[in-house]
Amino acid sequence: MRLLDDIHCLYLDFDSFFASIEQQIHKELRGKPIGITPFKGSGNRCLIACSTEAKRAGVSNVMMLDEAKKICPNIILVPQTPALYRRAHNILLSEIESVIPISAIKSIDELSCDLDKYQRKVPMQIAHDIKRNIAENIGPYIKCSIGFAANRQLAKMACKAGKPNGAMIWHPKDMPEPLFALELGDIPAIGTRMLRRLKDANIHTVEQLYMANPKHVRKLWRNVTGERLWYALHGYEIKVPENNRMMFGHGRVLPPKSRKLSAAREVARFLLIKAARRLRREHYYASGIHLSVSLKSGYWSRSHPLPMVHDDQAVLAQFEILWRTMRGQASVYDIAYKVGVTLFDISPAHTRQLNFLLEDNDQRKKWEMLNNAMDSLNDKYGKTVASMGFIPVQNKDNIGGKISFTRIPSAEDFW
């Protein structure tokens, strides 16, 4: 590892991203406190995001709706439009890349850029150019905060310290004083559990964490992440290996009309079809399926093995087994609030070997050919024109692509 003596990283985080996109598109929402809800109509129980105006009133992201209304009675509720956020994300990337190349896209509203030796001399000019391009070419209601520091971890923290709509530089020569002004919970790698663990170890401030032994910090984290964090806080260049994909999955909070178990099954079934499509698009096979259902009577989940497949028929057959098991354990009047399906234990297509102990290999190849034909039709028309079984007719918007913290949906996710 190399101790850096200059700023090498820019970190950008859009302020209230979902809400600001809605405000840019809809004039009547500008300057008003708005909360983004999971779906249209009544039955929402929480917010998934909120505007800067709502935050000033005390509302926060991922807050229960009743609490948000109590804090801010005039909050305006707006259902999420993920397809719009995906398009805005792509357009914003183009504007940023006209100023500086993007090194890593961290989420729908966060990214980082590496600075060359010329860019390190003019960080505030870069920040100004990015903000100007966005305001002039997309709209002034989409704002971002930008942080500059030696490495990505510090740049992200500087970015957060400059919110909202700020530009903050943490140069190595000025460190570590800016760090010591923060709370432990301001460090992105420290959540509630880790905060409790640190305090149990008599570490109550960022300065105490900074002064600790790196091996001790590793021990507290119970893995190498803690030691990497210690070196990042001290301004070292940190190279973190990329995570390999482990699964493909989808989950949905269900609106009232889809909470009966029969309707919830339709949603879960189609989510699984979409996960299988992604599996095929990225050339993987799966050897396991997992189903989870948040019921009124409690949480239910179960996994089942698969014979290394990626066709809809195979995964749907095992899904039906899991769903029947869940129905047998649920009460007669039970309803579902959320469903999730995951295809896991995945392998690249080029490593696949057919199981000679099974006698369905010829049949499996036929199903795969059928799926390839359906995928080709859907690709040609840019929507789902062919699928295995019926597509739910109710609440189709709720089954469209969803923005998550770990993945930006592709256009195909909204078919």
pLDDT of residue 410: 74
Q: At what angle do helices 214-221 and 192-200 cross, to 10 degrees?
A: 130
Distance CA(309)–CA(280), nearest Å, equals 10
To which H or E segment does residue 292 belong? strand 284-295
pTM score of the predicted model:
0.82
Distance CA(409)–CA(277), nearest Å, equals 13
> C-alpha angle with apex 140: 101 to 118, nearest 5 degrees?
30
Structure-block tokens of residue 87: 């398009």
Structure-block tokens of residue 247: 């699964």
Q: Which segments of the chain have a pLDDT < 70?
A: 241-244, 352-361, 392-407, 415
Q: Kindly give, in sequence order, each residue whose CB lies less than 8 Å from that of residue 408, ignoring residues fewer than 6 positions away.
A: 86, 89, 105, 107, 108
pLDDT of residue 246: 82
pLDDT tens per residue, range 234-251 = 999 988 766 667 889 988
Look at strands 284-295 and 167-169 and give their pairing.
Answer: unpaired
What domains can you pick out in the chain, each with its CATH number? 17-84 (3.40.1170.60), 180-242 (1.10.150.20), 247-414 (3.30.1490.100)
pLDDT of residue 340: 94
Burial of 10 (0-12, 13-18, 19+ CB in 10 A): buried
Structure-block tokens of residue 354: 């057919």
**343 with 258: CB under 8 angstroms?**
no
Residue among 339, 266, 342 nearest 306 (CA):
342
CA 73 distance to own-chain centroid: 29
Q: Kindly give, in sequence order, each residue whose CB lies less than 8 Å from that of residue 367, ignoring residues fewer than 6 positions away.
A: 311, 312, 313, 314
Q: How many CA atoms lie within 13 A of 269 on its CB side?
A: 22
Omega before residue 101 within 30° of 0, cis: no
Per DSSP, what are the bridge partners of residue 11?
A: 112, 147
Q: Is 176 left (phi over 0), alpha (psi -120 to 50) or beta?
A: alpha
> C-alpha angle with apex 151: 104 to 60, nearest 5 degrees?
70
Q: Would you tell me how many other CB atoms lie within 10 Å of the CB of residue 143?
A: 20
**76 with 29: CB under 8 angstroms?**
yes
In this structure, the chain runs to a length of 415
